[in-house]
């Protein structure tokens, strides 16, 4: 869009400013090899070869200073995290990424190249090409990432399929991201292992596809913390749950594991955990961890026999 309030008749040398920036950014995020029949950055819309099966689409917005502490982390990390969080939404459906588009708002003078290096890193690591974007002015530095994915066999795994008696598992121990933020605040370096978990979250794409192939009943990613997200899954499925254990990552606290968020581990609900484990094992994925079972009463949600309260991060809007 880039729409005018006061469209100035710019001199030629200034008039190319936005287009110039776009060109430099395209060089950072652009792929050397674009599939035949596709057109990425540079037209009104990107053109993609046909999507196989169901199309998946999700948008995530990350604001510097809200989603990432602007005093403690470089701008590059905001770009990385924004893309990783969006791609994680595809992982949570059992899908795989096809493309992403990025909308960036920022004040004049923002290092857009640094921001886009983080975006490009996450895109490369998740095999999700950046095919388009928009740049605009604002007071905050904000990154909106939309990911488009596909689910070839029409079997995207929803939040709403959990059944009483199903087993609840997670793809890894929790609390690493929150622990990393705490450590960073206490002075740990950017390359500290837990700090890296906060800066560079890793969407569980292979795990999501494996869980879909294993016939998982329900799935979601843990972006806001088990203490909030598991309730959301249970709400969507109209069920309750009884947790026996919350796996706490080394270096994290139980509270960080429950309400820390941003781990992007998947929570998987299935009536056949043995099959899930076998498929994970066959694909060289880490053994998923059983945390509890689904019950039929949406009013009964427990952890080791005690009520498991809804808690975790929500924006006050």
Nearer CB in complex with its own copies: 66/278? 66
C-beta closer to its own copies: residue 18 or 206: 18
CB 149 to its own copies: min, Å: 7
Please, which of residues 275-304 interact with its own copies by CB under 8 A?
Answer: none
Q: Restricting to residues 144-163, which ones interact with its own copies according to CB under 8 A?
A: 144, 146-149, 151, 154, 156, 158-160
Which of 14-22, 26-34, 242-250, 271-279 is the region at the interface with its own copies (rule: CB under 8 A)?
A: 14-22
Stretch of residues binding its own copies (CB under 8 A), selected from 100-108, 241-249, 272-280, 289-297: 100-108
Which residues pair with residue 35 across a beta bridge? Answer: none
Of residues 181-200, those binding its own copies (CB under 8 A): 181
One residue of 1, 32, 299, 306 binding its own copies per CB under 8 A:
1
Does 89 bind its own copies (CB under 8 A)? Our answer is: yes
Is the Cβ of residue 7 or residue 284 nearer to its own copies in the bound state? Answer: 7
Residue pair 97/217 in contact (Cβ under 8 Å)? The answer is no
For residue 120, state whether it binds its own copies (rule: CB under 8 A).
Answer: no
Q: Which helix (H) or strand (E) holds 144?
A: strand 142-151
Single residue of 29, 75, 99, 285 touching its own copies by CB under 8 A: 99
Please select the residue that binds its own copies; options are 32, 33, 36, 50, rule is CB under 8 A: 50
Reference 133, options 108, 112, 107; nearest CA is 112
CB burial of residue 44 (10 Å; 0-12, 13-18, 19+): exposed
Q: How far apart are CA 88 and CA 38, in angstroms?
A: 24
Give min distance, CB of 174 to its own copies, in A: 12
Q: Quick one: 89 or 121, whose CB is closer to its own copies?
A: 89
Task: Specify whether the CB–CB gap between 38 and 48 falls below 8 A.
Answer: yes
Q: Give the whole-angstrom CA distance, residue 223 versus residue 209.
A: 18
The contacts of residue 74 (CB under 8 Å, 6+ apart) are 114, 118, 190
Residue 4 CA from chain centroid, whole number: 33
Please state whether beta strands 142-151 and 130-137 pair in parallel, antiparallel, or not at all (unpaired): unpaired
């Amino acid at each position: 869009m880039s729409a005018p309030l006061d469209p100035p008749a710019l001199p030629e040398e200034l008039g190319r400013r936005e287009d110039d920036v776009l060109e430099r950014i395209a060089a950072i995020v652009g792929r050397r090899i674009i599939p035949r029949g596709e057109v990425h950055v540079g037209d009104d819309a990107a053109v993609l070869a046909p999507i196989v099966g169901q199309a998946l689409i999700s948008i995530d917005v990350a604001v510097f200073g809200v989603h990432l502490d602007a005093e403690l982390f470089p701008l590059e990390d905001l770009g990385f995290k924004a893309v990783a969080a969006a791609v994680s939404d595809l992982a949570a459906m059992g899908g795989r990424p096809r493309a992403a588009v990025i909308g960036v708002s920022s004040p004049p003078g923002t290092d857009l190249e640094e921001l886009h290096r983080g975006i490009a890193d996450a895109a490369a690591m998740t095999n999700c090409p950046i095919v388009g974007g928009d740049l605009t002015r604002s007071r905050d530095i904000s990154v909106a990432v939309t990911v488009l994915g596909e689910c070839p066999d029409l079997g995207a795994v929803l939040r709403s399929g959990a059944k009483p008696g199903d087993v609840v598992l997670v793809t890894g121990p929790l609390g690493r991201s929150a622990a990393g933020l705490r450590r960073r605040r206490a002075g740990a370096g950017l390359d500290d292992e837990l700090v890296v978990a906060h800066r560079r979250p890793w969407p569980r794409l292979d795990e999501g596809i494996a869980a879909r192939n294993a016939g998982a009943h329900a799935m979601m990613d843990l972006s806001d913390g088990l203490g909030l997200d598991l309730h959301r899954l249970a709400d969507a499925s109209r069920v309750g749950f009884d947790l026996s254990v919350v796996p706490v990552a080394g270096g994290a606290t139980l509270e960080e594991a429950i309400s820390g968020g941003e781990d992007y581990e998947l929570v998987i609900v299935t009536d056949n955990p043995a099959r899930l484990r076998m498929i994970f094992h066959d694909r060289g994925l880490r053994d998923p961890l059983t945390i509890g079972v689904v019950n039929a009463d949406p009013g009964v949600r427990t952890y080791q026999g005690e009520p498991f309260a809804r808690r975790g991060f929500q924006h006050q809007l």
